[in-house]
Amino acid sequence: MLSVTDLRKTYSSGEEALTGVSLDVTGSETVAMIGPSGAGKSTFIRCVNRLTEPSEGSVVLDGVEITDLSGESLREARRDIGMIFQEYNLVERLTVMENVLSGRLGYTSTWNAFRRNFADEDIERAYEVLDRVGLGGHENNRADELSGGQRQRVGIARAILQRPKILLVDEPTSSLDPETSRAVMDLLTEIAAEDDIPLLINIHEVDLAEKYANRIAGLREGSLVFEGTPAELDETAKGQIYRGEEIPAGAGPAGKVESDEPPETPSQASEIRRG
Protein backbone atom coordinates (compact mmCIF):
# COMPACT_ATOMS: atom_id res chain seq x y z
CA MET A 1 0.00 0.00 0.00
CA LEU A 2 1.17 3.51 -0.87
CA SER A 3 0.08 6.24 1.48
CA VAL A 4 0.97 9.85 0.64
CA THR A 5 0.10 12.52 3.19
CA ASP A 6 0.24 16.31 2.76
CA LEU A 7 2.88 16.18 0.01
CA ARG A 8 4.28 19.59 -0.84
CA LYS A 9 6.88 20.78 -3.34
CA THR A 10 8.11 24.37 -3.48
CA TYR A 11 10.93 25.25 -5.86
CA SER A 12 13.70 27.73 -5.08
CA SER A 13 11.88 30.27 -7.27
CA GLY A 14 8.97 30.14 -4.82
CA GLU A 15 6.71 28.29 -7.23
CA GLU A 16 4.42 25.82 -5.44
CA ALA A 17 4.10 22.69 -7.57
CA LEU A 18 2.26 20.70 -4.87
CA THR A 19 0.32 22.35 -2.06
CA GLY A 20 -0.46 19.46 0.25
CA VAL A 21 -1.70 16.41 -1.66
CA SER A 22 -2.81 13.25 0.14
CA LEU A 23 -3.59 10.03 -1.70
CA ASP A 24 -3.66 6.28 -0.97
CA VAL A 25 -3.16 3.53 -3.56
CA THR A 26 -3.92 0.00 -2.41
CA GLY A 27 -4.30 -3.60 -3.57
CA SER A 28 -4.14 -4.11 -7.31
CA GLU A 29 -6.19 -1.02 -8.15
CA THR A 30 -5.40 1.38 -10.96
CA VAL A 31 -5.48 5.04 -9.96
CA ALA A 32 -5.34 7.61 -12.76
CA MET A 33 -4.13 11.12 -11.97
CA ILE A 34 -5.54 13.69 -14.38
CA GLY A 35 -5.42 17.46 -14.70
CA PRO A 36 -4.26 20.28 -16.97
CA SER A 37 -0.61 20.77 -17.90
CA GLY A 38 1.30 22.21 -14.96
CA ALA A 39 -1.13 20.82 -12.39
CA GLY A 40 1.64 18.89 -10.60
CA LYS A 41 0.92 15.35 -11.80
CA SER A 42 4.46 14.45 -12.88
CA THR A 43 5.91 16.24 -9.85
CA PHE A 44 3.71 14.13 -7.57
CA ILE A 45 4.86 10.84 -9.11
CA ARG A 46 8.52 11.89 -9.11
CA CYS A 47 8.30 12.96 -5.45
CA VAL A 48 6.96 9.53 -4.50
CA ASN A 49 10.17 7.80 -5.62
CA ARG A 50 12.39 10.77 -4.71
CA LEU A 51 13.49 11.57 -8.27
CA THR A 52 12.25 14.99 -7.18
CA GLU A 53 12.78 15.87 -3.53
CA PRO A 54 9.53 16.82 -1.77
CA SER A 55 9.61 19.92 0.43
CA GLU A 56 7.23 18.49 3.03
CA GLY A 57 4.96 15.54 3.59
CA SER A 58 5.06 11.80 4.08
CA VAL A 59 5.39 8.97 1.54
CA VAL A 60 4.94 5.50 3.04
CA LEU A 61 5.15 2.26 1.02
CA ASP A 62 4.22 -0.90 2.91
CA GLY A 63 5.18 0.69 6.21
CA VAL A 64 8.48 2.21 5.04
CA GLU A 65 8.74 6.02 5.20
CA ILE A 66 10.44 6.84 1.88
CA THR A 67 11.06 10.51 2.67
CA ASP A 68 13.31 9.63 5.63
CA LEU A 69 15.71 7.47 3.60
CA SER A 70 19.07 8.23 2.02
CA GLY A 71 22.04 6.38 0.55
CA GLU A 72 21.82 2.60 0.49
CA SER A 73 18.47 2.59 2.32
CA LEU A 74 16.91 4.73 -0.40
CA ARG A 75 18.48 2.56 -3.10
CA GLU A 76 16.92 -0.54 -1.52
CA ALA A 77 13.50 1.13 -1.19
CA ARG A 78 13.53 2.08 -4.86
CA ARG A 79 13.72 -1.60 -5.75
CA ASP A 80 10.07 -1.76 -4.70
CA ILE A 81 8.98 1.14 -6.91
CA GLY A 82 8.74 0.43 -10.63
CA MET A 83 8.87 3.57 -12.78
CA ILE A 84 7.67 3.80 -16.38
CA PHE A 85 8.66 7.07 -18.04
CA GLN A 86 6.94 9.26 -20.61
CA GLU A 87 10.03 9.36 -22.85
CA TYR A 88 10.82 5.67 -22.20
CA ASN A 89 14.23 6.45 -20.56
CA LEU A 90 16.00 3.71 -22.53
CA VAL A 91 19.67 3.55 -23.48
CA GLU A 92 19.27 3.76 -27.25
CA ARG A 93 22.52 2.00 -28.20
CA LEU A 94 21.85 -1.00 -25.95
CA THR A 95 19.74 -4.00 -26.89
CA VAL A 96 16.21 -4.64 -25.69
CA MET A 97 17.52 -7.35 -23.35
CA GLU A 98 20.19 -5.07 -21.85
CA ASN A 99 17.62 -2.35 -21.23
CA VAL A 100 15.21 -4.78 -19.59
CA LEU A 101 17.92 -6.25 -17.38
CA SER A 102 18.70 -2.77 -16.08
CA GLY A 103 15.60 -3.33 -13.94
CA ARG A 104 17.80 -5.57 -11.77
CA LEU A 105 20.54 -2.98 -11.21
CA GLY A 106 19.26 -2.35 -7.70
CA TYR A 107 20.09 -5.97 -6.86
CA THR A 108 23.49 -6.08 -8.60
CA SER A 109 26.90 -4.94 -7.45
CA THR A 110 28.42 -1.89 -9.13
CA TRP A 111 31.14 -4.03 -10.73
CA ASN A 112 28.69 -6.57 -12.16
CA ALA A 113 26.41 -3.77 -13.35
CA PHE A 114 29.33 -2.11 -15.14
CA ARG A 115 30.19 -5.39 -16.85
CA ARG A 116 26.48 -6.09 -17.48
CA ASN A 117 26.96 -9.39 -15.71
CA PHE A 118 23.53 -10.54 -14.51
CA ALA A 119 22.42 -13.71 -12.78
CA ASP A 120 21.14 -16.56 -14.97
CA GLU A 121 17.84 -16.41 -13.10
CA ASP A 122 17.41 -12.74 -14.03
CA ILE A 123 18.19 -13.44 -17.69
CA GLU A 124 15.73 -16.32 -17.83
CA ARG A 125 12.98 -14.22 -16.27
CA ALA A 126 13.76 -11.33 -18.64
CA TYR A 127 12.96 -13.63 -21.58
CA GLU A 128 9.68 -14.57 -19.92
CA VAL A 129 8.77 -10.93 -19.32
CA LEU A 130 9.59 -9.99 -22.92
CA ASP A 131 7.22 -12.70 -24.11
CA ARG A 132 4.60 -11.40 -21.73
CA VAL A 133 4.75 -7.83 -23.11
CA GLY A 134 4.76 -9.03 -26.72
CA LEU A 135 8.45 -8.52 -27.48
CA GLY A 136 9.60 -12.11 -27.68
CA GLY A 137 12.23 -12.38 -30.43
CA HIS A 138 13.24 -8.70 -30.14
CA GLU A 139 15.76 -9.18 -27.33
CA ASN A 140 18.77 -8.49 -29.57
CA ASN A 141 17.33 -5.44 -31.32
CA ARG A 142 18.79 -2.09 -30.35
CA ALA A 143 16.37 0.21 -28.59
CA ASP A 144 16.70 2.84 -31.31
CA GLU A 145 15.35 0.35 -33.87
CA LEU A 146 11.97 0.10 -32.14
CA SER A 147 8.67 1.91 -32.61
CA GLY A 148 7.25 4.11 -29.85
CA GLY A 149 4.86 1.40 -28.71
CA GLN A 150 7.64 -1.17 -28.59
CA ARG A 151 9.87 1.19 -26.60
CA GLN A 152 7.09 1.68 -24.08
CA ARG A 153 6.77 -2.09 -23.76
CA VAL A 154 10.52 -2.33 -23.06
CA GLY A 155 10.04 0.21 -20.26
CA ILE A 156 7.16 -1.84 -18.87
CA ALA A 157 9.21 -5.05 -19.03
CA ARG A 158 12.10 -3.36 -17.22
CA ALA A 159 9.80 -2.21 -14.43
CA ILE A 160 8.20 -5.66 -14.07
CA LEU A 161 11.64 -7.28 -13.77
CA GLN A 162 12.21 -5.28 -10.58
CA ARG A 163 9.35 -7.23 -8.92
CA PRO A 164 7.99 -3.92 -7.58
CA LYS A 165 5.37 -3.34 -4.93
CA ILE A 166 3.89 -0.47 -6.96
CA LEU A 167 4.14 0.80 -10.53
CA LEU A 168 4.36 4.55 -11.15
CA VAL A 169 3.61 5.50 -14.73
CA ASP A 170 4.23 8.99 -16.14
CA GLU A 171 2.24 9.80 -19.31
CA PRO A 172 2.55 6.33 -20.91
CA THR A 173 0.46 7.21 -23.98
CA SER A 174 1.44 10.81 -24.76
CA SER A 175 3.57 9.90 -27.80
CA LEU A 176 1.43 7.03 -29.08
CA ASP A 177 -1.44 6.74 -31.54
CA PRO A 178 -4.89 5.85 -30.13
CA GLU A 179 -4.73 2.15 -30.98
CA THR A 180 -1.26 1.70 -29.48
CA SER A 181 -2.32 3.75 -26.44
CA ARG A 182 -5.18 1.35 -25.75
CA ALA A 183 -2.87 -1.66 -26.19
CA VAL A 184 -0.38 -0.20 -23.69
CA MET A 185 -3.15 0.54 -21.18
CA ASP A 186 -4.54 -2.97 -21.63
CA LEU A 187 -1.10 -4.37 -20.87
CA LEU A 188 -0.50 -2.19 -17.81
CA THR A 189 -3.85 -2.92 -16.19
CA GLU A 190 -3.61 -6.65 -16.95
CA ILE A 191 -0.20 -6.78 -15.25
CA ALA A 192 -1.50 -4.86 -12.23
CA ALA A 193 -4.41 -7.28 -11.84
CA GLU A 194 -2.45 -10.49 -12.49
CA ASP A 195 0.57 -9.59 -10.32
CA ASP A 196 -1.48 -7.83 -7.61
CA ILE A 197 0.50 -4.60 -8.08
CA PRO A 198 -1.16 -1.21 -7.54
CA LEU A 199 -0.81 1.17 -10.46
CA LEU A 200 -0.59 4.97 -10.26
CA ILE A 201 -0.77 6.58 -13.71
CA ASN A 202 -0.36 10.23 -14.64
CA ILE A 203 -2.34 10.58 -17.87
CA HIS A 204 -3.71 13.37 -20.07
CA GLU A 205 -6.34 11.36 -21.94
CA VAL A 206 -9.45 11.55 -19.77
CA ASP A 207 -11.26 8.92 -21.84
CA LEU A 208 -8.50 6.38 -21.12
CA ALA A 209 -8.59 7.26 -17.42
CA GLU A 210 -12.34 6.67 -17.35
CA LYS A 211 -12.04 3.36 -19.19
CA TYR A 212 -9.13 1.79 -17.32
CA ALA A 213 -8.94 3.28 -13.81
CA ASN A 214 -10.71 2.06 -10.70
CA ARG A 215 -10.30 5.51 -9.17
CA ILE A 216 -9.45 8.95 -10.52
CA ALA A 217 -7.56 11.76 -8.77
CA GLY A 218 -7.87 15.24 -10.27
CA LEU A 219 -5.16 17.83 -9.70
CA ARG A 220 -5.35 21.54 -10.37
CA GLU A 221 -2.61 24.06 -9.50
CA GLY A 222 -0.91 21.57 -7.20
CA SER A 223 -4.02 20.67 -5.20
CA LEU A 224 -6.19 17.56 -5.20
CA VAL A 225 -9.62 18.89 -6.23
CA PHE A 226 -11.34 15.61 -7.11
CA GLU A 227 -11.12 11.98 -6.03
CA GLY A 228 -13.69 9.40 -7.03
CA THR A 229 -14.72 6.65 -9.39
CA PRO A 230 -14.92 7.12 -13.17
CA ALA A 231 -18.71 7.23 -12.84
CA GLU A 232 -18.40 10.22 -10.50
CA LEU A 233 -16.23 12.14 -12.94
CA ASP A 234 -19.10 14.08 -14.45
CA GLU A 235 -18.99 17.38 -16.36
CA THR A 236 -19.13 19.37 -13.14
CA ALA A 237 -16.07 17.60 -11.78
CA LYS A 238 -14.22 18.03 -15.08
CA GLY A 239 -15.05 21.73 -15.00
CA GLN A 240 -13.54 21.99 -11.54
CA ILE A 241 -10.37 20.12 -12.57
CA TYR A 242 -9.73 21.73 -15.95
CA ARG A 243 -11.37 25.15 -15.70
CA GLY A 244 -11.34 25.88 -11.98
CA GLU A 245 -15.11 26.10 -11.79
CA GLU A 246 -16.69 26.15 -8.35
CA ILE A 247 -18.59 23.11 -7.08
CA PRO A 248 -22.08 24.04 -5.79
CA ALA A 249 -22.44 24.18 -2.01
CA GLY A 250 -23.48 20.81 -0.60
CA ALA A 251 -22.28 18.91 -3.65
CA GLY A 252 -20.93 15.38 -3.40
CA PRO A 253 -17.68 14.11 -4.84
CA ALA A 254 -18.92 14.42 -8.40
CA GLY A 255 -20.42 17.86 -7.93
CA LYS A 256 -23.96 16.57 -7.38
CA VAL A 257 -25.90 18.54 -4.80
CA GLU A 258 -26.75 16.40 -1.82
CA SER A 259 -30.00 16.98 0.04
CA ASP A 260 -31.05 16.14 3.57
CA GLU A 261 -34.63 15.66 2.34
CA PRO A 262 -35.81 12.04 2.07
CA PRO A 263 -36.45 10.78 -1.46
CA GLU A 264 -39.97 11.21 -2.69
CA THR A 265 -42.22 8.18 -2.79
CA PRO A 266 -43.85 7.04 -6.06
CA SER A 267 -47.19 8.42 -4.87
CA GLN A 268 -45.66 11.81 -4.08
CA ALA A 269 -44.02 11.92 -7.49
CA SER A 270 -47.35 11.07 -9.10
CA GLU A 271 -49.12 13.86 -7.19
CA ILE A 272 -46.53 16.37 -8.29
CA ARG A 273 -46.92 15.38 -11.92
CA ARG A 274 -50.72 15.60 -11.72
CA GLY A 275 -50.46 19.04 -10.16
What whole-number distance in Å separates Cα of residue 83 and Cα of residue 233?
A: 27
**Residue 245: per-residue pLDDT:** 83
Whether 80 and 61 have beta carbons less than 8 Å apart is answered as: yes
Question: Would you say residue 266 has pLDDT above 70?
Answer: no
Question: Would you say residue 116 has pLDDT above 90?
Answer: no
Is residue 90 located within the same domain as residue 58? no
Q: Does residue 88 or residue 177 have the better pLDDT?
A: 177
Mean pLDDT of the chain: 87
Q: How many domains, in total, are found in the chain?
A: 2
Q: Region 88-117: what's the mean pLDDT?
A: 81
Backbone dihedral region of 40: left (phi > 0), alpha (psi from -120 to 50 degrees) or beta? left
What 3-state DSSP class applies to 196? coil
Is residue 146 located within the same domain as residue 218? no
Residue 178 belongs to some domain of the structure = no
Question: Would you say residue 108 has pLDDT above 90?
Answer: no
Confidence of residue 55 (pLDDT cuts 50, 70, 90): very high
Is residue 91 located within the same domain as residue 223? no
Structural domain containing residue 205: 1-80+195-275
**Residue 112: per-residue pLDDT:** 64
Question: Would you say residue 114 has pLDDT above 80?
Answer: no
Residue 190, Cβ density class (10 Å: 0-12 exposed, 13-18 middle, ≥19 buried): exposed
Question: Would you say residue 265 has pLDDT above 80?
Answer: no
The CATH number of whichever domain residue 234 belongs to comes to: 3.40.50.300
**Residue 134: per-residue pLDDT:** 94
Q: Which of 117, 147, 163 is the last residue before a domain boundary? A: 163
Residue 71 belongs to some domain of the structure = yes
Give the percent of the chain with pLDDT over 90.
73
Question: Would you say residue 197 has pLDDT above 80?
Answer: yes
Residue 171 belongs to some domain of the structure = no
Buried b (16+ CB within 10 A) or exposed e, 214-228: bbbbbbbebebbbbb
Residue 190 belongs to some domain of the structure = no
**Residue 226: per-residue pLDDT:** 97
**Residue 87: per-residue pLDDT:** 80
Is residue 106 located within the same domain as residue 49? no
Q: Does residue 41 or residue 117 have the better pLDDT?
A: 41
Question: Would you say residue 105 has pLDDT above 90?
Answer: no
What 3-state DSSP class applies to 20? strand
Residue 101's φ and ψ, nearest 5 degrees, are -65, -20
Q: Region 129-134: what's the mean pLDDT?
A: 94
Give the percent of the chain with pLDDT over 70.
87
Q: Region 175-183: what's the mean pLDDT?
A: 92
pLDDT tens-digit series, residues 144-166: 999 999 999 999 999 999 999 99
**Residue 111: per-residue pLDDT:** 59
Q: Which strand ranges, in their side-by-side order, compose the sheet holding 64-65?
A: 16-25, 2-10, 56-61, 64-65
Is residue 69 located within the same domain as residue 110? no
Is residue 70 located within the same domain as residue 107? no
Residue 115 belongs to some domain of the structure = yes
Q: Report the Cα 184 to chain-centroid distance in Å.
A: 13
Residue 188 belongs to some domain of the structure = no
Is residue 72 located within the same domain as residue 199? yes
Query: pTM of the full predicted structure?
Result: 0.84
